[in-house]
Amino acid sequence: MMTTGKPRTSHPFPRWAGSGGVISTNEAGVVPSLRAALMLLALTPVLGQEPVPPEPQAEVASKPAESAVKAVISVPKILVDDTFFILKSPLRWDRQDWLHTGEGLALVVGTALLLDTRVRDESQRHRGPETDKVAKQIQNFGASYAIGVIGGFWAYGKLAGDSEAVNTGLDAAEASLIAGAVVGPLLKSAVGRSRPSSQEGAFHFRPFGGGVSAPSGHTTEAFTLAVVISEHYPQFWVRCFTYGIASLVGASRIQQNAHFLSDVVSGALLGTLVGRTVVLRNQERRGVPGRLKVSLRSSFGPDYQGAALSLRF
């Protein structure tokens, strides 16, 4: 018997993603729609998992208390190691990695030159009380709602004994800390771009001078979370749903006149890079690179002799 799953590929270096457009909807339908989106995200560990045959349990448990202490102690070390791994990534890039980086930078710069002012003006032209209420709710998927989703994955995994959901929550928490508390703020400070609401124009930069527009922090968090969830649950509908919400977060920040389009694009690229790097490194630590598992079982009886090959991705 052969059971197969959809293989996934991952790479610790830049693979770029985009952002979506501004939406307009009736105020009465905003809260129910957002609640439904949150519920669907919460149900992802259940809906997105594939049937997996039970693994044999060890006869003697190996000191659970000691293992828990070691796991807690290892968290800061892993966080620091992965942070420096990401910060020092350019030192390890080969020609293809630099090519991908150049493509990403060209995308950001091209967006800034050609679209930032136009998109800002158009979004503000159609801005109103109803779209403000929608945008303010959607942008929370890059802030408070994201924290709830991360905690929800971890809590569900612990209660249901689902290691995949637990790992999703842990990976998302780590990636969010690295992107949102370290790399993102460093880039914001170094770029020093003024927000569109300051009315100083799309090309006003003061490196280390207080500008914090690029990259978009909400978009970075939204794409970080989307990437981590999609890497653990690679079903097509999960990817469409998570990346769709992340794109709407970016659109909401433009509508709120908090960011230019290129700020959103750079945030999406940063979140994608950090999320995929963290998932890949933690998969290697867990001993599941590529998540391919092969097992061979033999069965013998009075009326049957044979073997079963099982593949799990």
Q: What is the CATH number of the domain that holds 213?
A: 1.20.144
Is residue 308 domain-resident? Answer: no
Is residue 245 in some structural domain? yes
CA gap 165, 229 in Å, rounded: 9
Number of folded domains that form the chain: 1
Residue 16 lies in a domain: no
Residue 301 lies in a domain: no
**Is 297 a member of any domain?**
no
SS3 content of the chain, % helix, strand, coil (to 5): 65, 5, 30
- pLDDT for the residue 294: 38
Closest of 144, 115, 148 to residue 262, by C-alpha: 115
Reported as a pLDDT band with limits 50, 70 and 90, residue 276 is: very high
**Could you give the 3-state DSSP secondary structure of residue 293?**
strand
Which amino acid would we find at residue 158? Answer: K
Does the pLDDT of residue 15 top 50, yes or no?
A: no
Domain range holding 257? 32-45+67-290
Distance (Å, whole) CA 101 – CA 2: 40
Q: What percent of the chain has pLDDT over 90?
A: 63
Parallel, antiparallel or unpaired: strands 305-312 and 293-300 = antiparallel
> Helix or strand or coil: residue 206?
coil
User: And the tokens for 38?
Assistant: 């949150």
CA distance 272 to 268: 6
Query: How much is the average pLDDT of 165-174?
Result: 96
Phi-psi group of 16: left, alpha or beta (phi > 0 → left; psi -120 to 50 → alpha; rest → beta): beta
Q: Name the pTM for this structure.
A: 0.74
Quick check: is 21 in a domain?
no
- Residue 3: inside a domain: no
Residue 6 lies in a domain: no
Per-residue pLDDT tens over the stretch 206-261: 999 989 999 999 999 999 999 999 999 999 999 999 999 999 999 999 999 999 99
Residue 218 is predicted with a pLDDT of 97
Gap between the Cα atoms of 178 and 78, Å rounded: 11
